[in-house]
Structure 1
């Protein structure tokens, strides 16, 4: 990622809080690096996971960078179409017959998630192309708390005879495989590519494999990520030579593209210097982790360094709702993390909560009827531009 310029913070001091500011030059730089890294792979493309952001202007910016869009509902399909994504895919746990018709009307091939979905789609649209979401049984050494292999509730087992019988019964042509195993790594990526290329050899109409996202862990070390992607390119080239037909890979980052380039600016409302139970200070702000970001791990900074003094020290950032566990920076089980450090602050100061560019607004609740933050774009010149929110379908 690219660090944001000071001008973004200076301009954000002039807008009301809470506010999420997207760093468009930073987004562009990250996308271009990822595109460069996958370029050696024949036919490879980035498809943004639209579930990570529903803000039309942000989606249009991503579409303008050449990304496709993966959607999980007809509401997201409407957003992706309006944004101008040239390639749109669809993957959801359960679509209705009417949903299938809407996707087909705009030329989108749906990735089916279960035998029941194959049957429903096949009855409505026999003899057509269809994709399939598959569950990947990761080896135990590749499993971790943030991966979903055998334990995923999404997708089908590729060896399930009912899947193949349903495809045959309705005359469906399998053209896409789609998988997502949570956070990935160079080793997981290579395993998934090898696994699905082996599957692809069995299906003569199959032309695309979407290996999912999980780019946070993939890019923990960019050199290792690039080495795995070069190895992926060789695997695809060897497969194409052996089988005499092309096959294309899709990568589907969401948070990996946007999260680092969104900043939540929030005002301090109260400070309790020492909470007798938590054993540390508790700072309550004018936004809410529970309403916006219940499971991400931010860094907290002073929005205006001149407003605070002294080194960062431990504390908790609490959201402004009457929910007991409304704290920023909890672990994946919602437990309070006592290890957060941030600058000294007092009521009226502004803090910046990083890693807020993805899932923040698409996860949003209205608990206690606290309004969602306003959204702004920073384009590197001029003032911040306020963005209209997504129409709720």
Structure 2
């Protein structure tokens, strides 16, 4: 159970003088000024999470590429670019967002199983650092596109090591049954083919086994399998400049205790050193672990609807704002903005206004609330705003970035007129 003393995102989110704050800003004040639903991010929390990776990789030739699918808000991208990050993208739209905040193209890697020819051409034109290729068919198309453009595409093959990350099946990516990557057993032949194609230059190897991983063991198992493969690939005459170990480190949603990024990399680097790969260039692609606990979604209680079997707390945030519960049956802590309770706590189903029975934010939550109260949905910095939609023709929420005692609006609330922009009757 989440209490005032163990909020996800602490110490950057917590109660001060009875009011929930982001850093030194009262969230109730932001809700009053900007309305709800409202996403609020802590700049210090993002930089603190990044700092754990930077300390863990200190002294190594390493590039941290933020997996921007987790949250592609320009203010967050700008903050991470200024802190030295590169970017892991999965679409040309993400490429343009990264370039818009001044990201160095050579620090961008392009992942994803379904890159189009147009996306490949734009990425080549921009001069990105690497394509993470996920199939032999993609190798052939990328070679053709690069040749037609008079360029050579730097490539890394994403290898599927068949390692169980022990996470939700929808966010597992390293098993044989997943759509991602090239099977471990086929990787050597794929590398030999890539090295023979005229439009490609092989530069590395990539591995990503899943998301919301809360233990070190799957990473260590995948590392050993990848290093075995590197040895075989290089013995076959295909040198690899960098090793890319992806992302996927989990965060605290409901009391999970994933390894600290600094400690995780201490363990991984020890294995790299032991096997003679310690001086190789490293790349990693963290996403959720940088921003997940750095954001909250503020919402207002519209109605309380007690029932014979369940009591419903209907709020103005919905599955279009916070898709993870409906999509993954995910848990987010839900807490009041004021610490003083309103009446006696009861068990509530916290649901949104969208016309779907699957539109729920939290099941069986003990809350002392009344109509008009405002709540905070915690750990909402990743895979919420980036997955938000206009379902039921609902405008997307506004976003605010907090730094110390200051707060600034970084995305305006979508207007009703904006919902029909681009449509032709």
Q: TM-score, normalised by structure 2?
A: 0.80
Please state how far the C-alpha of 1:128 moved relative to its aligned partner. 4.4
Judged with a 3 Å threshold, the aligned counterparts in structure 2 of structure 1 residues 8 and 27 are, in CA distance, closer, same or farther, namely: farther
Equivalent in 397, 401, 416 of residue 377 of structure 1? 401
Cα deviation, 1:103-159, whole Å, max 9, x if unaligned, reads 122221211111110110122325643121111112x6x645453322210111143
Counterparts of 2:263 and 2:324 in 1: how far apart (Å)? 34
Judged with a 3 Å threshold, the aligned counterparts in structure 2 of structure 1 residues 76 and 348 are, in CA distance, closer, same or farther, namely: same
Please state how far the C-alpha of 1:355 moved relative to its aligned partner. 1.2
Please state how far the C-alpha of 1:38 moved relative to its aligned partner. 3.3
Please state how far the C-alpha of 1:360 moved relative to its aligned partner. 0.9
Counterparts of 1:259 and 1:377 in 2: how far apart (Å)? 14
Matching residue of 1:333: none
Matching residue of 2:204: 176
Counterparts of 2:207 and 2:47 in 1: how far apart (Å)? 26
Counterparts of 2:184 and 2:246 in 1: how far apart (Å)? 17
Judged with a 3 Å threshold, the aligned counterparts in structure 2 of structure 1 residues 292 and 131 are, in CA distance, closer, same or farther, namely: same
Judged with a 3 Å threshold, the aligned counterparts in structure 2 of structure 1 residues 256 and 224 are, in CA distance, closer, same or farther, namely: closer
| Matches for 1:106-255 after TM superposition, within 5 Å | 106-108=126-128, 109-125=130-146, 128-138=153-163, 143-146=166-169, 147-148=172-173, 149-160=175-186, 163-164=190-191, 166-171=193-198, 172-183=200-211, 184=213, 185-201=215-231, 202-203=233-234, 204-216=238-250, 220-221=256-257, 226-240=262-276, 246-255=279-288
Q: Which runs of 5+ in 1 are unaligned?
A: 330-337
Matching residue of 1:88: 108
1:360 pairs with 2:384: yes
Judged with a 3 Å threshold, the aligned counterparts in structure 2 of structure 1 residues 238 and 136 are, in CA distance, closer, same or farther, namely: same
1:35 pairs with 2:49: no
Counterparts of 2:367 and 2:251 in 1: how far apart (Å)? 28
Counterparts of 1:55 and 1:212 in 2: how far apart (Å)? 21
Counterparts of 2:194 and 2:259 in 1: how far apart (Å)? 41
1:282 pairs with 2:305: no
Aligned length: 373
Which secondary structure state, in structure 1, belongs to the residue aligned with residue 120 of structure 2? helix
Matching residue of 1:335: none
Please state how far the C-alpha of 1:163 moved relative to its aligned partner. 2.0
Please state how far the C-alpha of 1:71 moved relative to its aligned partner. 0.3
Please state how far the C-alpha of 1:357 moved relative to its aligned partner. 0.8
Q: Which runs of 5+ in 2 are unaligned?
A: 1-8, 15-20
Counterparts of 1:55 and 1:145 in 2: how far apart (Å)? 25
Counterparts of 1:72 and 1:23 in 2: how far apart (Å)? 25
Which secondary structure state, in structure 2, belongs to the residue aligned with residue 289 of structure 1? coil
Please state how far the C-alpha of 1:10 moved relative to its aligned partner. 4.2
Q: Is the 8 A contact 2:133 2:157 kept in 1?
A: yes
Please state how far the C-alpha of 1:212 moved relative to its aligned partner. 1.7
1:52 pairs with 2:70: yes
Q: Is the 8 A contact 1:291 1:367 kept in 2?
A: no
Judged with a 3 Å threshold, the aligned counterparts in structure 2 of structure 1 residues 360 and 236 are, in CA distance, closer, same or farther, namely: same
1:98 pairs with 2:118: yes
